[in-house]
Structure 1
Amino acid sequence: MTPPTRSSPTSGAGPTSGAGHASGTGPEAVGTSQPRRGISRRAALGFGAATAATAAGAGALGWFGRGAAEARSGPRPEDQIVEFYGEHQAGITTPAQDRMCFAGLNVTTDSVDELRLLLKDWTAAAARMTRGQETTEGGFDGGSYHAPPEDTGEAFGLTPGHLTITIGFGRSLFVDAEGKDRFGLKDKLPEALVEMPHFPADVLDEQRCNGDLCIQACADDPQVAVHAVRNLIRLGFGTVSTKWMQLGFGRTSSTSQAQETPRNLFGFKDGTANIMAEETDRLDEHVWVRDGSWMDGGSYLCARRIRMILETWDREPLGGQEAIFGRTKRDGAPLSGGGEFDAPDFDMPGSNNQPVIATDAHVRLAHPSQNGGAAMLRRGYNYADGTDAQGNIDAGLFFIAFVSDPRTGFIPIQNRLAREDALSEYLKHTGSAIFAIPPGTAEGGYIGQSLFDS
């Protein structure tokens, strides 16, 4: 095995790769690995062809300190790479990882050239980090000893961890609060990129809402995800500032049929009817934008920070919890019977001339059959952010959904849930945002290029 060689970061000079499909695999396929173009932050610690020859004398190299046998038996880093380049951005249909770091940012420059340069720098850095490399070729130990390092270093020695980085644009990138043009992009504002409405019972913290740009980093390791967001923000010093950030753990949805349905902090299986990566027809109908515009091949990300009132919920009897969800707690089956993935029978009669799945049950109100067929690809995470001033746990769901049009695929459903869902009594929505997620790019291009070149 030939050891990987160091090269310069992707800067637009590389050859076009057919949007990541040269090998017949999509950009979202976990394990997709093109030849690694540089020695990674992990490879520097002992990965590569020198494994057998140098392991015995590499105790000072850290990673091999665990022993060559353990190194060979662990996951191979090249099997943990999700290719950044492709028709669609990774981090949407990619099998959901277990950790997330999400940030909303404000653009602080008035220069469209600086904005475009930032997106080029972000694309190059994201492509490197998702391959397990440091942010730039210099890394944290390159460049001048008297200057800040080019990489913050906390991911050095960690595996790629199926890292995906997804970048989006907020409505305020196009027009300000008064509707004035920003960066000459007003005419390219998509009609679907609307402001998220204020739903009934929302208790929004404006410091947790919206943003000109967003970064979603998902990985198997939280440190890998945080490192990615931190270093993109660092690359944007002077061009962007961080408005808010959210860490997530324990995915609350599956995005692949190979994954089991996870549980939310209420203990129930979540996202049973989710759109899956294998359902290409449903993705084209409900997730991907197909309108011939600069957004073609992209999607819209709808985010809601939903605090769960755990202290109240934990006092609710099991029967009451199941009636509120409309599913059994242990296996996630609908109360009308069958297994988790059996269709709920909303007409099945129960006691007192009421349906067995109550009219205000969450599964009924959220189900596509009850919403004109509207569906979304959910990709949320649990969060736990300590306690409030009263000593109550601040924890819940950082809800993320990808849709082809928030006006039809998300907002009507959310409005109905806010008004009718029995579960709403135990929820408090504190953050909210919609971002346009542009399509992916081929190597040599950059995220958002279709916007600026259209």
Structure 2
Amino acid sequence: MAEGDAQAAGGSAGLSRRGLIGLALSSGVVGLAAGGAAGVAGGAAVARAEQGRGHEEPYAFFGPHQAGITTPVQDHLHFASFDMMPRTSREDLISLLQDWSYAASRMTQGLEVSATGAVGGDAQTPPDDTGEAMDLAVNGLTITFGFGPGLFENEDGDRYGLAGQRPAGLQRLPAFLGDDLDPESSQGDLCIQACADDPQVAVHAIRNLSRIAFGRARLRWSQLGFGRTSRTTSAQATPRNLFGYKDGTANILSDDTEALDDHVWVGASDEPDWLRGGSYLVARKIAMLIETWDRVRLVEQNEIIGRDKGAGAPLSGGDEFTEPDFHSTAFDENSHVRLAHSSMNDGIRILRRGYNYVDGNSALGRLDAGLFFLSYQRDPAQFVTLQRHLSTDLMNEYIRHIGSGIWAVPPGAEASSYVGAPLFR
């Protein structure tokens, strides 16, 4: 089926017809997954060389793992959590994932969400694409999907016949010391993480996927992020968070396949089998008490974090990447670096992918800002163990956890399929 035929068959929405996503993808997008340059050059894509910024080649949407996990961390984030609408069926859920996958597979290659896009369709009907990214390059866009606990079972019972496929670790996170969670900024049946080197590209992705979800899922909450607070490749410099400290020095990197297999990817021996090659995503919105922190003496800031603010080196000496010597008297036993370090947590590691956020000012005129923490791990118990160990962290005086969620992140989709397909087999 040609793309134009698929669009006509799908009705006015111009997206894949329910149940026919495989045909639409295999005929219209497989060439992109294989690196087809002609498709990337057309539609909404503008060569990033002409823009003078951004990653030069699109990241593949299809593959063994979803993009946006080990992908080099982009500069901007738009994260969105969705709830399925009441009285929706298993067929509605499958069709939504199909339509989302089709649109995401196009947008991540610099194309609009359908062949007719923002201006190529009937002028008497709403466009398929909102159009604000038409003149922008793809800017390294990645789109990552996750499934929350409520998708498998909630107060209405087993809505979609998935209770038997629920991963044992996919449970709402326990309460942690210092939690002050807003239920309106927590949880969700589904999540989408859109990352790009241009904020408008990331916002365009979430905006259009939200439109596609109409009638099947509704936006529960979302968060914009800027200024990555971690790195996933050795080529990236360690960024700084809003407290001014280098963040993510000891993060797992994309070329450390052994660490990824041990700590990030759900393994071949893990259950359930549909999640193998995937991961678990934890999101935590952490408000930073900026004005209070800014009045703390530099020497005390260093003691709280456990690193030198300028060089990023551990207080025991060396450079940023020197292993800390926790036997040194330079460290307070409750410094953040000491409590979070893998050597103090039975070797537990996670892959961090967080962002700074600023949501304006509070009613008291204070900066409403902080860290939107994102981590990927093979088992949610890794995060729970680390977070509990941080209960005595000196930094807790200057932060508040105000949002939280957990999702199972399926493996990447095959080129003729959609994200999450093995769950429904």
Give the TM-score of the pair, scaled to structure 2: 0.91
**CA offsets, 1:274-327, max 9 Å, x none?**
000010000000000012610000000001000000000000010000000000
Q: Which has the larger radius of gyration?
A: 1
Q: How much has 1:15 moved relative to structure 2?
A: 7.9
Contact 1:6/1:37 (8 A) holds in 2: no
Q: What secondary structure does 1:394 align onto?
A: strand
Listed as ranges, the matches of 1:387-426 within 5 Å are: 387-407=361-381, 409-417=382-390, 419-426=391-398
Query: What's the counterpart of residue 139 of structure 2?
Result: 161
Residue identity opposite 2:23 in structure 1? A
Q: Does 1:287 align with 2:264?
A: yes
Tell me the CA shift for residue 198 of structure 1: 1.6
Q: 2:23 aligns with which of 13, 18, 36?
A: 13
Deviations 1:314-354 (A, max 9, x none): 00010000000000000110000001111000001xxxxxx
Contact 2:246 2:309 in 1 (8 A): yes
Asked if the contact 1:378/1:400 (under 8 Å) is kept, the reply is: yes
* Counterpart secondary structure, 1:319: helix
User: Which residue identity is paired with 1:246?
Assistant: Q
Does the 8 Å contact 2:40/2:109 carry over to 1? Answer: no
Secondary structure of the equivalent of 2:254? coil
Query: CA–CA distance in 2 between the matches of 1:382 and 1:40?
Result: 34
Could you tell me which runs of 5 or more consecutive residues in structure 2 were left unpaired when the two chains were aligned.
Answer: 7-14
Which amino acid counterpart does residue 272 of structure 1 have in structure 2?
T
* Corresponding position of 2:294: 314
Equivalence for 2:413: 441
- State the shift of 1:442 in Å: 1.5
Q: Report if aligned partners of 1:171, 1:212 keep a CA contact under 8 Å in 2.
A: yes
Farther-moved stretch of structure 1 (304-313 vs 107-116):
107-116
Check conservation: 2:360, 2:369, Cα contact below 8 A.
Answer: yes
Question: 8 Å contact 2:3–2:24 — kept in the other structure?
Answer: no
Confirm or deny that 1:359 pairs with 2:333.
yes
Match of 2:400 in 1: 428
One-letter amino acid of the counterpart of residue 399, structure 2: L
What residue is the counterpart of 2:350 in the other structure?
376
145-154 or 262-271: which moved more?
145-154
Residues 6 and 75 (structure 1), Cα distance of their counterparts in 2 relative to 1, 3 Å cut: farther
> C-alpha root-mean-square deviation of aligned residues, in Å?
2.3
Per-residue deviation at 1:16? 6.8
Give 1:360's aligned amino acid. Answer: N
CA contact (8 A) 1:6 1:39 kept: no
Cα pair 1:80 1:159 within 8 Å, conserved: no
Q: What is aligned with 1:183?
A: 160
1:129 matched to 2:131? The reply is no
Please point out which of 317, 326, 332 is paired with 2:306.
326
Distance 1:341 1:78, change over 3 A: closer
Deviation at residue 416 of structure 1 after TM alignment: 1.8
Q: Secondary structure at the match of 1:168?
A: strand
Residue 9 of structure 2: aligned partner: none
What is residue 39 of structure 2 aligned with on the other side?
37
Q: Tell me the equivalent position of 2:359.
A: 385
| TM-score normalised by structure 1 residue count | 0.85
CA contact (8 A) 2:55 2:139 kept: no
Uncovered stretches (5+) of structure 1, i.e. residues with no partner: 48-70, 349-354
| CA contact 2:144–2:192 (8 Å) conserved in 1 | yes
Partner SS, residue 294 of structure 1 = helix
2:219 paired residue among 242, 245, 251 = 242
Shift of 1:33: 3.7
Per-residue deviation at 1:207?
A: 0.3
How far apart in 2 are the matches of 1:331 and 1:33? Answer: 40
Change (3 A) 1:36 1:203: farther
What SS is found at the alignment partner of 1:300?
strand
C-alpha change, 1:170 and 1:35, in structure 2 (3 Å) is same
Letter in 2 for 1:316: V
Other structure's SS at 1:433 match: strand
Quick one: structure 1 residues 131 and 72, their matched pair in 2 at CA, closer, same or farther if it must change by over 3 Å? Answer: closer
- 2:321 aligned with 1:341: yes
Aligned length: 405
